[in-house]
A and B are shown apart, each in its own frame.
Chain A
Amino acid sequence: MLKLCENTSLGEKYYKATVKGMDIYVIPKELSTVYATIAVNFGASDTDFVLDGKEISLPSGTAHYLEHKMFDSPDGTDAFEKFSVLGANVNAYTGADKTCYLFSCADGFEQCLRLLFDVVTKPCFTDESVEKERPIITQEIRMYMDDPYWKMHFGLLGALYHNDPIKNDPAGTEETIANITPKLLYDCHRSFYNPRNMALCVCGNVNAEEVVKIAEECIPDYEEVSLRRIRPYEPAEVCCHKREFSLDVSAPLFAVGIKCTPPENGEELMRAEAENEIIVQAIFGKSGSFYNKYYEEGILGDRFSSGYSNEAGTALVMIYGSCDEPERAYELIKQELDNRKDSFCTKEEFERAKKVCYSSALDTYNSTEDIASAFVSYVFRNGDFLRYTDYLRNADYDSVKARFKADYSSERSAFSVIYAKEDSNV
């Protein structure tokens, strides 16, 4: 049974259905490329759980390793090749709270969707195939080690979080992936790759009924498992205020994080995202007094950005930039938060911030990939991206001000720096 949801002011809509427990969203869009994602509610942060009464603790990087190995087919062929012959691109990524398998195609959508279901529903792991993947993932891990932003990001999460697995690289480390076996991957697949624990989002010029029909044919029957996830206790306070590294970079880079209260799923999730985005924009946006004052003074440069994110039961604000004296940048950001504690921002700044956030949300509707990705981020949390612009437009000054006062504290901030090594070569 298809349910239609519309947003008339945007001229956008989607259809929703549930097949064998799996939620399916189809967002019609008149573009050449169709984009489809199957999301599995199993990510890098799901490291500890109880399966059929037995406690399991996964080595860091397991969900990501599983993602790589799902592309091996039982008949020994490679899934990439099957998509390629259709001119489609298939890919996957592992986030903190989910693993997503996706493809984009201009033709052959039906076949591609069937193939994608094959990828996620037909595990096939052998000692040899699992072994073969280790050097490839090792190079993936090493590639990110040389990425200063990646390093700085995880440095920041390590400072903000005591125990939460969000602070770990989703790919794990060379040590943790050494212990991953076919049995472990099969256990994870059986536990988490269950239709009730998965969702499908399709965006493009497709027929919703057709999508549902394919899903009905492709989703196999699943055995029910008893599964309980365990998340370690995470205090509201930060773990420490500073992490630092030295890398071969051109100028020091900094990231400041503010640990926020994670929102409840559903309405509050949508409201929290809209309001926090507006807050960050109003205070640290490009037209804001903060950025412009220190840009004019030469303390901050073009590389400056800020944003709010929440996933896997965490929420934080991040401010990135480059600065010759990163400690000073951190002090200035903390001062800004303290100074605005009671005043927040002017009504003009607030209205302007709303427009910026609205325009950025609207821009999502220009690409099937962006639309499907935006929808996917809410599928396991009772949110609805189609309503997001309404939350932005309807955001109320006093309510946003109250949220800022309650949740933005310099005490709950931390700072991660990449210093430039002196003896660089090239």
Chain B
Amino acid sequence: MVIKDYNLREGVDLTVLSTEKFKSNLMIVELRCPLRKETATHYSLITNVLSRCCRKYPTLREFNVALEELYAADLDAYVSKSGEVQKVCFKLSCIENSYTYDGADVLAGGMRLLGEMIFNPLLEDGAFSASVMESEKKNLKEEIEALKDDKARLALSRCIKNMCADEAFSVTTAGDTEILQSISASELKTSYDELLKSYPVSIYFMGREAPEKVKEYCDRYLPFAPREKRLFNTEVKKGTGDVKYVTEPTDAVQSRLCMGFRTGRSIKDDDYVALLLACDVLGSPSGKLFMNVREKLGLCYYCSPMLDGVKGLLIVSAGIFAENRKKAEEAILQQIEALKKGDITERELKSAKAVAESAYKEIYDSASSIINWYSARRGLGLDISPEEMAARIKNTTVEDIARVARDIVPDTFYMLEGGAAEC
């Protein structure tokens, strides 16, 4: 893989990752905005409205027909969260031209549509089409509310909300249903104009097309104006050690436990790799959590850690019987205590290192993984490849892991309490 960087204009960057490995091309255009309650819902709704139709293709059907003619080019707009940054993303994924059976130039067609989606929305009297917006409000409301359909995700989200109540991190990137109701078509247009002109733009491309040609497409179809180049920081708080216990009832059979910890570290720290290994000692397929909480105690089917390396949070999740909460919490805490004492066997260390190294190699097998990797790091001003990160694993010792583990502090223990009868 060869990486080529272009500064298209002030605050607008293009990174071309060239590879022959894939049968498709992927482009992701990201605008990085601070995650704020007042704007998050607006930006989220904008992505829904833009991916529905545009001036040239004023109905969903016309838009979809045009895309399917291009061998089902996947064009999408969505929001995602990276620490306390809301990323507004526009994505184009299409098959490599040489695999078409009618000689179509799918990439050129897809790039044109990507440009139409971002820059030429369907407008009425200078505002977004009211009917389109209202219908997309309904869809977005459903999407936001659908979080409750997945109890594991719901528990994780509620745990984070409680844990980071006073921090920007608690803002849901998909939006808030109350704010959503109040947005007018002209307000949305104002937010859209603001969004397009104010925030730093990073464009990533992965595929076979020549870098110069990709740059040419960007110049032609993605006319972002120059803007201030800025980095938005995410606050990584240290824990106080006071544990907040939260229980919320739900109408479900299983109870979902989420134990939230502050790690006091993020991917910006040089010893982050030790934290990652600590997490793998717990959560690798034969890690301490699996071996003890599931295999030895039989308390659950899944018990897994999730490390947010940008915000510095560690959340351990498990699906349990409500009456086993105390037992599960104690068992999980014991595993973390063991880390702090350096109570890690040679095989546990070997496994964690091997699993982490494989994970870094695996990133190169997926276009979206590699783009996500660079996006998360460059957004914080870091420039390190998965390969360079993997090289740091080898020399990490049990003492390094224990040292960073001692900064892991419990913060919020949340349970979404089920116990409903089966139906």
Contact = CB atoms under 8 A, between A and B. Distances in A.
Contacts, number: 204
B64 A426 contact: no
Contacts of B196: none
Contact of B21 (A31, A147, A352, A421): A31
Contact of A80 (B99, B149, B290, B367): B290
A330 B146 CA distance: 21
A89 B284 CA distance: 9
Contacts of B362: 32-33, 104, 106
Contacts of B250: 248, 425-426
Contacts of A366: 21-24, 366-367
A245 B423 contact: yes
Given A143-B254, A146-B151, A426-B250, A10 B99 contact: yes
Given A139-B300, A292-B59, A425-B251, A84 B286 contact: yes
Interface stretch (B10-18, B68-76, B271-279, B402-410): B68-76
Contact of B319 (A85, A143, A245, A356): A143
A33 B152 CA distance: 29
A87 B354 CA distance: 4
A78 interface: yes
A85 B287 CA distance: 10
A84 B68 contact: no
B23 A84 contact: no
B281 to A, nearest CB: 11
Interface in A364-380: 365-368
A303 B144 CA distance: 12
Contact size class for B? 35 or more
A287 B64 contact: yes
A250 interface: yes
Contact of A88 (B101, B143, B358, B416): B358
Contacts of B285: 80, 83-84, 89-91
Given A105-B358, A106-B357, A145-B254, A365 B286 contact: no
Contact of B248 (A30, A248, A362, A425): A425
A142 B287 CA distance: 23
Interface in A143-167: 143, 145-149
B270 interface: no
Contact of B298 (A83, A135, A251): A135
Interface in A64-79: 78
B254 A139 contact: yes
Nearest to A353: B68
A250 B145 contact: yes
Interface in A109-150: 132, 134-137, 139-140, 142-143, 145-149
A298 interface: yes
A302 B138 CA distance: 10
Contacts of B152: 143
A145 B321 CA distance: 13
B24 A425 contact: no
Contacts of A88: 354, 358
B39 to A, nearest CB: 22
A110 to B, nearest CB: 15
B160 to A, nearest CB: 14
Can you list the 4 inter-chain pairs with the closest CB atoms, starting with the nearest? A87-B354, A250-B145, A292-B61, A287-B64
Interface of A: 9-10, 30-33, 78, 80-81, 83-91, 104-107, 132, 134-137, 139-140, 142-143, 145-149, 245-251, 253, 285-287, 289, 292, 295-296, 298, 301-303, 322, 352, 355-356, 358-360, 362-363, 365-368, 393, 421, 423-426
Given A87-B357, A362-B99, 4 more contacts: A90-B285, A139-B319, A143-B152, A247-B251
Interface of B: 21-24, 59-61, 64-65, 67-69, 71-72, 95, 99, 101, 135, 138-139, 142-143, 145-152, 154, 158, 248-254, 284-287, 290-291, 294-295, 298-302, 319-321, 347, 350-351, 353-358, 361-362, 364-367, 416, 418, 422-423
26 contacts: A10-B23, A10-B99, A30-B21, A78-B295, A84-B285, A85-B354, A87-B357, A89-B358, A90-B285, A106-B357, A107-B354, A107-B358, A132-B298, A142-B422, A143-B319, A145-B254, A286-B64, A286-B68, A287-B67, A292-B59, A296-B59, A298-B138, A302-B139, A358-B71, A363-B24, A393-B101
